[in-house]
Amino acid sequence: MSDPRPDNTPTPDEVDPVEGTEPDGTPVENPSGLTRVLTPA
């Protein structure tokens, strides 16, 4: 089984919705304030 993606590129199922990712799979910090919304005050 060959995967066109690099080993370090997470699949959509592996992406943490709280972490968020750029379209290319690169993790981003606090996308759209998402972590603040999901994190209890």
Q: What is the pLDDT of residues 4-18, one digit of tens each?
A: 656 666 566 655 555
Residue 11, SS3 per DSSP: coil
Report DSSP letters for 3-36, one per residue: -SS-TTS--GGGS-TTT-B-TTS-B-SSGGGHHH
For residues 24 and 41, give the distance between their C-alpha atoms in angstroms, rounded to a whole number. Answer: 31
The predicted pLDDT at position 5 comes to: 58
Res 12: pLDDT: 60
* pLDDT value for 8: 65
Predicted TM-score of the model (pTM): 0.18
- Three-class DSSP category at 32: helix
At residue 4, the pLDDT reads: 66
Q: Which amino acid is at 15?
A: V
